[in-house]
């Protein structure tokens, strides 16, 4: 058969297979199958990209080898240290690893959660907030010697959490959820 000829107008010669034609239904099935696989492929890619985390029982040296250099350290009661791994400034995750007095990992948690934001109370000190949430994504000075810290967190809504401190370094009110200025307000 000559190249460029329409197979419907020029049937194949005897003993020659008919050219393969894909039906509209087959194309539709293929498109639906691929569309169904895409979310699974994306989720598996995210699982592969998730950073390795320290595990309870590991030594501090093992934690450092697994997670790298921390972004902060905070002393807790009883000789416990909280080690911060902030994924910022625009990151939505801050891992907190608690080490007991002997330097072993006892807990690993994501600090930027609605449950932790709800623990912020009027009168808390800046140090208490840092031990709970880790470093903020943004710090803004305001009038009357106030300062507002902001954290982004994992949410489907376009919001971030803001906490205002009065001049004495104490929380005024609690945590507030506001629209994230990085989001496009027109959408």
pLDDT tens digit sequence for 23-58: 676 666 666 666 666 555 555 444 444 668 999 999
d(CA 76, CA 61): 20
Please state which CATH class domain 112-187 belongs to: alpha beta
Measured CA to CA in angstroms, residue 4 lies from 9, 12, 15, 53, 135 at distances of 11, 13, 20, 59, 66
Q: In this predicted structure, what is the pLDDT of residue 45? A: 47
112-187 matches 51-110 in CATH topology: yes
CB 109 within 8 A of CB 94: no
The pTM (predicted TM-score) of the whole model is 0.69
d(CA 81, CA 84): 10
More confident residue, 24 or 64: 64
pLDDT class of 181 with cuts at 50, 70, 90:
confident
Enumerate the domain spans of the chain. 51-110, 112-187
The yes or no reply on domain 51-110 and CATH 3.30.1450.10 is yes
pLDDT tens by residue, 111-160: 999 999 999 999 999 999 999 999 999 999 877 889 999 999 988 888 99
Measured CA to CA in angstroms, residue 46 lies from 39, 60, 171 at distances of 11, 27, 36
């Amino acid at each position: 058969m000559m190249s460029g000829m329409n197979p419907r107008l020029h049937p194949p010669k005897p003993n020659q297979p008919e050219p393969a034609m894909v039906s509209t239904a087959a194309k539709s099935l293929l498109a639906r199958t691929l569309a169904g696989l895409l979310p699974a492929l994306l989720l598996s890619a995210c699982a592969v990209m998730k950073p390795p985390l320290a595990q309870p029982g590991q030594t501090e040296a093992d934690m450092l080898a697994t997670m790298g250099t921390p972004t902060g350290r905070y002393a807790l009661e009883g000789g416990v240290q909280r080690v911060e791994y902030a994924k910022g400034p625009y990151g939505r995750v801050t891992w907190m690893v608690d080490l007991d007095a002997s330097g072993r990992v006892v807990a690993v948690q994501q600090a930027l959660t609605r449950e932790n934001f709800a623990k912020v109370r009027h009168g808390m000190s800046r140090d208490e907030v840092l031990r709970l949430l880790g470093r903020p994504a943004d710090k803004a000075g305001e009038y009357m010697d106030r300062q507002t810290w902001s954290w982004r967190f994992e949410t489907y809504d376009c919001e971030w959490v803001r906490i205002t401190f009065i001049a004495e370094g104490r929380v005024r009110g609690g945590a507030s959820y506001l629209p994230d200025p990085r989001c496009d307000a027109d959408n």
